[in-house]
Structure 1
Amino acid sequence: MKSPRINPSILSADFVNLQAELEAIASADLVHVDVMDNHFVPNLTMGPPIVERIQAVSPVPLDMHLMIADADRWAPGYAELGAYSVTFHAEATNDPVALARKIRDIGARAGIALKPGTDVAPYLELLPEFDQLLVMTVEPGFGGQAFMPDMMPKLQQASEAKKAHGLDIWLQVDGGITVDTIGMAAEAGADTFVAGSAVYGGVPEQRIAELRAAANAHVHTKA
Structure 2
Amino acid sequence: MTNEIIIAPSILAADFARLGEEVTAIDAAGADWIHCDVMDGHFVPNISFGADVIKALRPLTKKVFDVHLMIAPVDPYLEAFEKAGADVVTIHAEAGPHLDRSLQAIRALGMKAGVSLCPATPESAIEYVLDRLDLVLVMTVNPGFGGQSFLESQLEKIARIRTMIGERPIRLEVDGGVTRDNAAAAAAAGADALVAGSAVFRGKSSADYAGNIAAIRLAAEAGRVSKLQDSSAQPMRAKEHALIR
Q: Same fold (TM over 0.5)?
A: yes
Cα deviation code 1:44-65 (max 9, x no counterpart): 1111111111112234221001
**1:189 matched to which residue of 2?**
190
CA distance in 2, matches of 1:63, 1:21: 16
- Is 2:223 aligned against 1:218? yes
Match of 1:159, SS state, is helix
Q: How many residues of Structure 1 are paired with residues of Structure 2 in the alignment?
A: 221
Instruction: Give the Å deviation of 1:74.
Output: 1.7
AA aligned to 1:98 is: R
Q: 2:93 touches 2:125 (CA, 8 Å); kept in 1?
A: no
Q: 2:52 touches 2:84 (CA, 8 Å); kept in 1?
A: no
Shifted more, 132-141 versus 90-99: the winner is 90-99
Structure 2: gaps spanning 5 or more residues:
229-245
Shifted more, 25-34 versus 71-80: the winner is 71-80
Cα deviation code 1:131-184 (max 9, x no counterpart): 000000000000000000001111111101112xx2110000000100001111
**2:174 matched to which residue of 1?**
173
**1:206 matched to which residue of 2?**
211
**1:124 matched to which residue of 2?**
127
Match of 1:97, SS state, is helix
Structure 1: gaps spanning 5 or more residues:
none
**2:111 matched to which residue of 1?**
108
AA aligned to 1:97 is: D
**1:44 matched to which residue of 2?**
47
CA distance in 2, matches of 1:213, 1:156: 20
AA aligned to 2:169 is: D
CA distance in 1, matches of 2:3, 2:116: 22
Instruction: Give the Å deviation of 1:80.
Output: 3.0
CA distance in 1, matches of 2:151, 2:170: 22
Q: 1:66 touches 1:75 (CA, 8 Å); kept in 2?
A: no
- Is 2:13 aligned against 1:8? no
Q: 1:34 touches 1:66 (CA, 8 Å); kept in 2?
A: yes
The percent identity for this pair of structures is 41
Matches of residues 60-139 of structure 1 in structure 2 within 5 Å?
60-139=63-142
Shifted more, 116-125 versus 19-28: the winner is 116-125
Across the aligned residues of Structure 1 and Structure 2, the Cα RMSD in angstroms comes to 1.2
Match of 1:92, SS state, is coil
Q: 2:178 touches 2:195 (CA, 8 Å); kept in 1?
A: yes
Q: 2:54 touches 2:85 (CA, 8 Å); kept in 1?
A: no
Match of 2:48, SS state, is coil
Q: 2:114 touches 2:136 (CA, 8 Å); kept in 1?
A: yes
Instruction: Give the Å deviation of 1:75.
Output: 2.8
TM-score when normalising by structure 1: 0.95
AA aligned to 1:212 is: R
TM-score when normalising by structure 2: 0.87
Q: 2:138 touches 2:158 (CA, 8 Å); kept in 1?
A: yes
* Large movers: runs of 4+ above 4 Å: none
CA distance in 2, matches of 1:137, 1:9: 14
Instruction: Give the Å deviation of 1:108.
Output: 1.0
Q: 2:74 touches 2:96 (CA, 8 Å); kept in 1?
A: yes
**1:160 matched to which residue of 2?**
163
CA distance in 1, matches of 2:72, 2:190: 29
AA aligned to 1:158 is: I
Cα deviation code 1:76-96 (max 9, x no counterpart): 421232211000111112211
